[in-house]
A and B are shown apart, each in its own frame.
Chain A
Amino acid sequence: MECSVVFAGFGGQGLLFTGQVLARAAIKDGLEVFWIPSYGPEMRGGTADCTVIVADHPIGSPVVDQFDAAVAMNLPSLRKFGPRVTPGGLLIVNTSLVTSQTSARAEINELRLPCTELAARGGDDKLVSIVALGALVGRLGWVTPESVRAALREISAKKRPEIVHTDLGVFEAGLEAGLRVTA
């Protein structure tokens, strides 16, 4: 198994952080993982993205043409990465910012989630990317939810222990959303 996901949106939406949470969860599940941010000048222009590859064998190419999953937290990201989701793959669109536009691709699964609202329900409306991670894990199960929770606890415990509870709450909200749509 080798799966790739791109988390894309505005700088400040926590996309690089969320990719690292997924990477740490993969390690906890004994998997191989590769995390690579876009480190170009676009970072300074406001958009940000990172790619995470999860595999059960040593990872070859760090560069991905077609993603098994993409998280588009804003419209430019939908336009950039929507067309690069592999047929049968998953596209998560944040409808809190992307209200009407879609990928217009019938051959992929487009999961449309109001990330801001879901994050608010979990305890902090800023943690939109954690919602997307929850939905991704709920839907595709590349890593176990327990490993994601452990990764969140670990990272937050080091930096801001007071937000662990919120992180976990928001992740659950996303996870539920991901699982619900599957059912």
Chain B
Amino acid sequence: MTEPREIGVDARMTEAEAGRRSRVLMKGNEAIGEAAIQAGCDAYFGYPITPQAELLEWMARRMPELGRVFVQAESELGAINMALGAAATGARVMVSSSSPGISLMAEAMSYMAGSGTPMVLVNVMRAGPGLGGIGPSQSDYFQATKGHGHGDYRVPVLAPASIGEAMELMATAFELAERYRTPVMLVADGILGQAMEPVELRFRNPERHVFDWALTGAAGRPARIIKSIDLQPEVLERRNLALQHKYAEIARQETRFATECMDDAEYVVVAYGTAARVARSAIEKARARGIKAGLFRPITLWPFPTRELARLSRHVHGILTVELSSGQMVEDVRLAVEGRCPVAFHGRMGGMVPTPDEVVGALKALSGKVERTREREREQQQKRHSGLLEDRTGGHRRATEAASRERTQGAEVGVRAGTRGGGER
């Protein structure tokens, strides 16, 4: 599907250069749809909502062309429950929507997690709460990583920062869904859905496995049952333990993140998706103004790269989290950092996007605060140091005085000397 290369542009063009020039312009929503198709998506179910509508439109056109299943359901609930049914047969299944629609799908997400049904769900996030607006947002971080439905479950959440990366991660999403028998979410924001970027038409179709759980007709073999209900607490606890074991395994094996400009970084911006791109511009500007900043970009929001951030927090001066929200991921950042360094936050809501200048401003505020704290600590240390010197001589004098008093007043002095001695240790 590559576009024909122009002939005679430059005979000495390198292969990489030719590759760059043969990229095609694709809209995020359409690129995600095509990547799903090329990853072998058998069935798509959806219901239109801005800013994700072009994804549904792309599937509406392409899936029937390929003889695959496309259903525009009567509602988001209908769509995801159809997906649950299709996925139970072992088909590669996808659903997409935007924030309010994802809320409607929450119940089925819980059922799919509980019954171990693989599915890929794309959320092109818009601003909430409620119907909110159609502007770009990352305010569904809590929903994606901690919530949607009820019960003790998690789903892997992938967060691309470019259209090219979204295409690659679609294949990863199907892979993870089938490897771990779990729903997988891919979260983009309205900008990634609506924007166009040059992409290489390189796709990946994950290997197919024979599922020993899929409902394919029980002729000649024992029946299989896919369900989430288990009324015996002992049995249900075992199922839950198995799920938790699976989540621990996913956390060990599937945590993904990227870093930029981290070698000499004293300050780190933690951001994902579109916010990470704003951060990238901000970091360049901040460095020009003498703040050594780097970027830490979680690609999996769950599992969150906790260990890596914890390691970072031991040697950087401060961390700034930037989100298109009131501050959701920043909670996971703080949990990872455990107070080892200051964690600041900058975010915009309602469909607004932070500008690079705003982020530079927040970085300056953070570095200023850190510098002031360090200055204060230095002063205090100096004071303590000179105070100690004074204390030692003073202590000696006082001890001598006390010793002479002791002869007359008894034990009181011993207590004082003991206190001072403790302070000096």
Chain A interfacial positions (CB closer than 8 Å to B):
20, 23-24, 26-30, 32-37, 39-41, 58-63, 65, 150, 154
Contacts and interface: CB of A to CB of B under 8 A. Distances in A.
Contacts of B282: 60-61
A63 B279 CA distance: 11
Interface stretch (B66-74, B193-201, B393-401): B193-201
Contacts of B24: 27
B263 interface: no
A60 B353 CA distance: 13
A32 B274 CA distance: 17
A28 B191 contact: no
Contacts of B274: 62
A63 B25 contact: no
A28 B351 CA distance: 33
Given A20-B25, A40-B135, A41-B134, A63 B353 contact: yes
B277 A62 contact: yes
Contacts of A63: 191, 278, 353-355
Nearest to B353: A63
A34 B194 CA distance: 11
Nearest to A36: B195
B196 A150 contact: no
Contacts of B21: 27-30
A39 B124 CA distance: 13
B357 interface: yes
Contacts of A28: 6, 9, 21
Nearest to A35: B196
Contacts, number: 78
A40 to B, nearest CB: 7
A177 to B, nearest CB: 26
A30 B10 CA distance: 12
Residue picked from A28, A39, A41, most chain B C-beta under 10 Å:
A39
12 contacts: A20-B25, A23-B25, A26-B198, A27-B25, A28-B6, A28-B21, A34-B196, A34-B197, A36-B191, A39-B194, A61-B282, A63-B355
Contacts of A20: 25, 196
Nearest to A33: B198
A1 to B, nearest CB: 13
A60 B277 contact: yes
B353 to A, nearest CB: 4
B23 interface: yes
A125 B351 CA distance: 36
B139 to A, nearest CB: 17
Nearest to B351: A40
Contact of A61 (B50, B196, B355): B355
The 8 closest A-B pairs by CB, nearest first: A60-B281, A60-B280, A61-B281, A35-B196, A61-B278, A36-B195, A63-B353, A27-B198
A26 B404 CA distance: 90
B195 A62 contact: yes
Contact of B50 (A39, A62, A65, A154): A39
Contacts of B25: 20, 23-24, 27, 33, 35
Interface in B386-408: none
Interface string B323-362: 0000000000000000000000000000101111100000
Contacts of A23: 25, 196, 198
A39 B190 contact: yes
A3 B356 CA distance: 15
Given A39-B134, A61-B355, A65-B357, A30 B194 contact: no
A61 B356 contact: yes
B57 interface: no
Contacts of A32: 198
A65 B358 CA distance: 11
B197 A150 contact: no
Contacts of B3: 154
